[in-house]
Amino acid sequence: MSALSGKLAGKVAVITGAGAGIGKASALLFAAAGATVAVVSLLADECKAVVTEIKSGGGNALSCPCDVTQPQQINDTLGQIQAELGRVDILLNNAGGAMPVAFKEQDDAYYRLVMKLNLESVHYAIRAVLPIMLQQGSGNIISISSGAGINYVPGLISYGAAKAGLTQLTRGIAVEYGGQGIRANVIAPGLMDTEGVRAWLATEDPNKRARFQAEIPVGRLGAPTDIAHAALFLASDESSFISGVLLPVDGAIHARLAGPG
């Protein structure tokens, strides 16, 4: 029997941005751990593909195409999930992202998109799931941030501001609703070996990946499964006394950048 078996048995997990990368890795891992996974992605084809993969491995999943930047859509989606699956135990807010743009070159449209996708969407999702979790008397909210929300990253000033706001939002939820059975935590990935990052690293300078990798103390980029396993720990009862925490999963790059003190 897998060591994962039963860690999330009987749980319903909602994962946004679950069609690829960290979200997909988390959906597959959570399902392997026994959760029924609501796969939320903007693209219906991605949702169906992940659900098919989960079911082919013997897991349970529900396809939930949704634009998380639209509050009515996320409200309707969470309502649908509750109606079909009976409860929502875990919300993993993974949808997000941005391409680096120098601050002076960011127009209003870029800024609004970054804020809607990386901060407002999480606000909408938490606002939609909170009444469900409060009614249950339990719930677990995990949000994926970024190292850019901790330290300066060139070209990601607005993105970093959104992710820093996400951390404070999460801490507030953890404190305000901890007494009602709800936990909330944040994971801050470092530079990840995902399709989008690979495309960015391949631009302009063929040595860019090697230079960035050399800055990471453990000597490699992160894998989506690195974040998925951290999320699984926070989603499980093994972390029942952990709430309001920002957890960097970044190969020690945050420790390196933080420096003395």
Residues with a known catalytic role = 159
Instruction: Compute the half-sphere exposure of residue 169: CA atoms within 13 Å on the CB side of its CA.
Output: 24
Using alpha carbons only, what angle is made at residue 2 by residues 183 and 185, rounded to the nearest 5 degrees? 15
Amino acid at 71: P
Per the structure block, which two tokens stand in for 173? 């939820």
**What CA–CA distances, in Å, run from 32 to 65, 90, 223?**
22, 15, 18
Q: Quick check: 98 and 117 in contact, CB under 8 A?
A: yes
Burial class (CB in 10 A: 0-12, 13-18, 19+), 61: buried
**DSSP 8-state class, residue 221:** P
Side-by-side strand order, sheet with 36-41: 60-65, 36-41, 12-15, 90-93, 139-144, 182-189, 246-249
At position 114, the amino acid (one-letter code) is: V
Phi, psi of 30 (to 5 degrees): -60, -40
